[in-house]
Structure 1
């Protein structure tokens, strides 16, 4: 298994109605978080500790909240907020 990201919970539903330019920015930043998590947690599947705290990232048009689950080698986008700026 390799690191990747996906929408979780209501974020998947919100992504269906959000503008494509906003979603492209979310994808770009989520890809960056995935690369950073993969570099930091090289042996993700054998991770024994607690998962790191998630965070919020501002992108043009809004923001998103993410959570890293190391043993699953996944970054979950758990909330999307489109503000239109």
Structure 2
């Protein structure tokens, strides 16, 4: 999960180069399926952050 989250952060940095100067709405978050579960994220451009809001572990 950590490497997938790192990729997500790099992608957000590439798309939203001028994060603090961003005017408008934040992009829609999403779900990412990883081995053993999934996580839900939200990009907050003005704060230059990607928040993981839920982690689901299937545990099998």
Same fold at TM > 0.5: yes
Unaligned runs of at least 5 residues, structure 2: none
| Alignment RMSD (CA, Å) | 0.7
The 5-angstrom pairing of residues 58-69 of structure 1 reads 58-69=33-44
Equivalent position of 1:77 in the other structure: 52
Name the structure with the higher helix share. Answer: 1
Unaligned runs of at least 5 residues, structure 1: 1-25
Which structure exhibits the higher relative contact order, with contacts defined as CA atoms closer than 8 Å and separated by 6 or more residues?
A: 1
Q: TM-score scaled to structure 1, two decimals?
A: 0.68
Displacement of 1:49: 1.1
Q: TM-score scaled to structure 2, two decimals?
A: 0.96
Equivalent position of 1:51 in the other structure: 26
Aligned residues: 60
User: Would you identify which runs of 4 or more consecutive aligned residues in structure 1 move more than 4 Å?
Assistant: none
Displacement of 1:84: 2.0
